Amino acid sequence: MPEWCVFNHAVEDALFKIIMDKISKRSKSYAFIEYTTEEAASAAPKEMNGKIINGWMIVVDVAKTNPPRYSRGRPR
């Protein structure tokens, strides 16, 4: 069973994005999960953070937005 399946037990309507290495095509060991309800999104870190899955302790945190990057007058 893939590791991300453990998050799906609480919510059926969730989007999973597992981040893969472009060269090796293997997981980079993190993913983004987008929940459809605020309740499910707030329950996941409380329920899953620190849990041991397949011998690995997982860390669950809320994604943070990056501040906008400003160029110094030069186009990119």
Q: Per-residue pLDDT tens for 14-49? A: 787 888 999 999 988 888 888 888 888 888 888 888
Residue type at position 18 = I
72 in a structural domain: no
Average pLDDT of the segment spanning 59-73: 79
Instruction: Classify residue 42 by its DSSP letter.
Output: H
- Confirm whether pTM is higher than 0.95: no
Contact 5, 11 (CB under 8 A): no
Question: Is residue 1 very low, low, confident or very high in pLDDT (cuts 50, 70, 90)?
Answer: very low
Total domains in the fold of the chain: 1
**Residue ranges of the alpha helices (H) in 1-76?**
38-48
52 in a structural domain: yes
41 in a structural domain: yes
The parent domain of residue 33 ranges over 3-57
Backbone angles phi, psi at 11, to 5 degrees: -140, 135
pLDDT number for residue 46: 87
Backbone angles phi, psi at 71, to 5 degrees: -85, 160
> Could you tell me the two tokens for 63?
């994604």
pLDDT number for residue 73: 67
> Could you tell me the two tokens for 45?
């870190």
